[in-house]
Amino acid sequence: MAESSRREVGRVAVRAARVWHSLFTTHPARTVVWAFALVIAAGTALLMLPASSQDGSATDLVTALFTSTSAVCVTGLVVVDTATHWSGFGEAVILGLIQVGGFGIMALASLLALLVSGRLRLRMQLTAAAETKSLGIGDVRRVLLGVAGCTLAVELAVGAVLALRLRFGYGRSIAEAAYSGFFHAVSAFNNAGFGLHADSLTPYAQDPWITLPIAAAVILGGLGFPVLLELLRHRTRRRTTGRRNWSLHTRLTLVTSAALLSVGTVLTCLLEWTNPGTLAPFDWDEKVLNGFFYSAMSRTAGFNAVDMGALNATTLLFTCTLMFIGGGSAGTAGGIKVTTFAVLAAAMLAEVRGEPNSTVMGRRLAPHVLRQALTVALLAVGFVIASTLALLTVTRAPFEDVLFEAVSAFATVGLSTGITADIPDSGRLILILLMFVGRLGPITLVSALALRERTRRYQLPEERPVIG
């Protein structure tokens, strides 16, 4: 009897091991998803501790889970004020979650293994490549070290500028200025949008020494690590060869990002110029400054220097468009990514012109790239519509505010018209799912599609259904 029991236990253990292997190790992108989920769970447990709140009481599960998810997914939506609810320990936990989530959990684990042992196993290289969008496992080591260097350099530089400004411009103590400057620098470069003021950056709306460094950090983080590394690499190469030879991905990201940033600035100024609740009280140069700052934040981060609740409905609508597009691939930005948008635009332009192939910047786009872009975009639209419908059933907030909240959560932007704290727990769980899917969905989906690509040995008969 004891022998049969031991055999049964052994069979259960074997089945459990197989399930664990299937869930966690069979696919690199799946490993990334589970890693993010485990870190969110750990962050939730830490934020629920009495030591994490200022009043010494335990934070409820949904609030802690929402904050942890928002930090790890570098979103910035909050249901409690960061500065008044969380203690110094709680803020440190949030800052750590932002840094881990922005850098990439598997990328961070791979970097630590590389620094400790000097080498990476094949599976760890695959997971790091899936998360950082490396060109191949051969350059994972270089990419990881480059990402770490870029992150550290930008955060220290921006943190120093902010700390000096807070110290000498606002009379903060050295410790307070350094802490606030570094916190906002980390939050900005990782496109998280967490701040230490209840009204975000509205006290500094007229101060370019605060808003411009933060905007620069947000834009750099939103370009994506592959673009930043290529710019640095080709800057060094140009010194020796005198030539600039950027890849199509880098050129698409830079051109599309600059175009969206410019369009967002112009539209913000045009639509809010005379709005007494936003830009009207400022001088013309301050209006342009805040128009630029809002445009930069709309695509990637959740800081705001004007009252979001006072924005016109037209501004909210085009902001939803900017948030949905997002920033660069394999970076800290969310959305469907600017390259996805550019590829779809190129495909539409080719169809309008009647051209058989989609071309952009002198290059022909592969058919599977078009299919991947279309899949990512349509699934994103489906998630946003479904979540908006679900949120409308649990809250009485106006439709435009609910749609704005859903897009902001999915695109991991973090901007809000102020309804986040009033949404019930059921609605907060919907937003939690949206943030998680928005942060990891494109990574998982594109990696899965790329690994499942196969060649069919036959062709089915062609037929053309009526379109339009």
Q: What is the pLDDT along the chain (468 residues), one digit of tens a residue?
A: 466 666 665 665 656 555 445 544 455 566 777 788 889 999 999 999 999 999 999 999 999 999 999 999 989 899 999 989 999 999 999 999 998 888 765 465 444 444 444 455 545 555 555 555 554 444 666 677 777 888 889 999 999 999 999 999 999 999 999 999 999 999 999 888 898 888 889 999 999 999 999 999 999 988 887 788 788 776 655 555 445 678 888 899 999 999 999 999 999 999 999 999 999 999 999 999 999 999 999 988 889 999 998 999 999 999 999 999 998 877 778 889 999 999 999 999 998 888 888 888 888 888 888 888 888 898 899 999 999 999 999 998 999 999 999 999 999 998 998 899 899 999 999 999 999 988 877 656 555 555 555 666 777 787 778 776
Q: Which candidate, 359, 339, 313, 203, places its Cα nearest to that of 259?
A: 339
Query: Pick from 80, 73, 63: which is nearest to 37 by CA?
Result: 73
Is there a domain that residue 461 lies in? no
Domain membership of residue 275 (yes or no) is: yes
Q: Domain for residue 81, yes or no?
A: yes
Q: Which two tokens stand for residue 235?
A: 């800057």
Maximal CA-CA distance, the chain: 86
Residue 8: inside a domain: no
Residue 206 in any domain: the answer is yes
**Cα 401 from chain centroid?**
21
Question: Is residue 6 included in any domain, yes or no?
Answer: no
Residue 120 burial (C-beta neighbours within 10 Å; 0-12, 13-18, 19+): buried
Structural domain boundaries enclosing 397: 25-450
Number of domains in the chain: 1
Q: Would you say residue 46 lies in a domain? A: yes
Token pair in block for residue 300: 């990637």
Residue 222 lies in a domain: yes
Rounded distance between C-alpha atoms, residue 27 and residue 448, angstroms = 8
Show Cβ contacts of residue 193 under 8 Å, excluding neighbours closer than 6 positions.
74, 75, 76, 187, 200, 297, 301, 302, 303, 413, 414, 415
